[in-house]
Amino acid sequence: MVHASPTRLEGFAAKLRRPGMQRSIARTAGFNVAAAAAAGLGGIILARTLGPTVRGEYAAITAWFGVVLVVGAIGQPAALCFYVAREPLRAHDYVATSRAMMLTTGAVALTAGMLFAPLLAHGNPPVTLGYRIVFGTSAVAFVSASYTFSLQARDLRRWNVVQVSQPLLSVIAILVLWRLRLLTLDAAMVVLAVTLLLQLIWAYRCCRETGLAPGHARIALIRPLAVYGVAQIAAVAPQFVNAQLDQLVLSQTVPPADLGRYAIAVSLSLTPVPLISAIGNVTFPRLASQRAVTGGTRRLQRLAVLTSAGLAVAMLVPLAATAYWLVPLVFGSAYRGAVPLLWLLTPGAVFLACGKVTGDLLRGRNRPVIVAWAQGLAAVFTVVLLLALLPVIGVAAAAIASTIAYGVALAVMLRCLWRLPDGGDGSQPQTPRGSRAAPDRVP
């Protein structure tokens, strides 16, 4: 769906109220919610079937797998979305080049993950096998990312379908294994590996249909992708620390059952994120495709930020109010200890949801470095608070540290976002020689 668009962003905020923009956000939100619902149902089945201890081991494995994915991706998902939106005529070569880059660095991350699996599992053979199953899937996840996130800028509808395919296939497989009484920790890891492979196949097919594949890796494209990617990884790494360091530390310092309860509290606190992140998913590539900005951008920013904050509060306050009865009912009485943790995490979840949208606005205006600084400062708060509070109050320290860190990150990003100048954005990256500017488009 392509519309003519002005070369400047005057009145850009009004577009958020146009039918095309509303449909894009609503459709993306619907897919995000469907993916979250599928993942949530799978999580409930795993929690009730495996119990807090094995659920904690599952949380530990997936948290460390996330570390491997962040390191191996080297910021390329966001870089690809940016450059596919900005230079559609060379998009297929950007995809091929980024894929080659991620495979190279991903091989290093994969090797390290396989070697450290026994250490992370504390010598537990079944848990070690679970680590090795998911670490062995790393290469598949890296290649899949190169195809998946290029679709975000080219065809938002297909991107949504690809994004939701993995959690939907995963919950179906988990339901089947549960009914057959074959659901174990390692079986859940196999499900994750197989569904990631199926997602890769589907993403590649979509890229073929939209002209994003096949392509040729170009040396000249490595530099722009790497520059944006380095700035992005500088933002993603501390952001990941803020989101996952609590569980990574708990995986090595507290009993698995405590981590299992904390993981349930975290998953519930993230309930509004899939819906709210749709705002950023749509605005990021649209802002990236623009060549100049005006005061209209500020109206878009205010509307996006206030909407995200309002939705988060409206969803999380009722959830926290009913958690004392809801958590034992849904997950079982063994998870009652997750309730006070959820209460501590609720303010931080509001900050996190709003911060995700704010970060996407900054990335769309080519300011990933600001996101990096904000998340880096927040990561310092996370580390200091964990060190200070964990020996004193135990697992609750992770919830307090996360809430404060998310608040710090949001405050820094909002302050910088409001201070961005109007007019031409001189910080936009240089277009590689021989390429053309991207036309304005609506996915």
Nearest-angstrom CA–CA distance, 5 and 288: 13
- C-alpha 417/C-alpha 357 separation (Å) is 11
Instruction: Give the whole-angstrom CA distance, residue 214 versus residue 216.
Output: 7
Mean pLDDT (whole number) for 28-32:
75
Other C-beta atoms lying within 10 Å of the C-beta of residue 288: 22
* Mean of per-residue pLDDT scores for the chain: 77
- φ/ψ region of 332 (left if φ > 0, alpha if ψ in -120 to 50, else beta) reads left
Q: What is the pLDDT of residues 153-186, one digit of tens each?
A: 777 788 888 888 888 999 999 999 988 888 888 8
Tell whether the model's pLDDT for residue 227 goes beyond 70: yes
Instruction: Please give the distance of CA 195 from its chain centroid, rounded to a whole number.
Output: 18
What tokens appear for 290 in the block?
A: 């623009």
> For residue 27, with 0-12 CB atoms within 10 Å meaning exposed, 13-18 middle and 19 or more buried, which class applies?
middle
pLDDT of the residue at 13: 43
Taking 60 as the threshold, does the pLDDT of residue 19 lie above it?
no
Q: What is the pLDDT of residues 332-344, one digit of tens each?
A: 888 888 899 999 9
126 versus 254: the higher-pLDDT residue is 126
Task: Look up the pTM and report it.
Answer: 0.61
What does the pLDDT read at residue 297? Answer: 64
Which of 90-99, 253-262, 300-309, 418-427 shows the lowest mean pLDDT across its residues? 418-427
Q: To which residue do tokens 């993916």 refer?
A: 35
pLDDT of residue 386: 85
pLDDT (tens digit per residue) in 262-298: 888 888 888 888 778 777 777 776 666 655 555 566 6
Report the C-alpha gap between 322 and 324 in whole angstroms.
Answer: 6
Residue keyed to tokens 């990617």: 229
The pLDDT assigned to 288 comes to 63
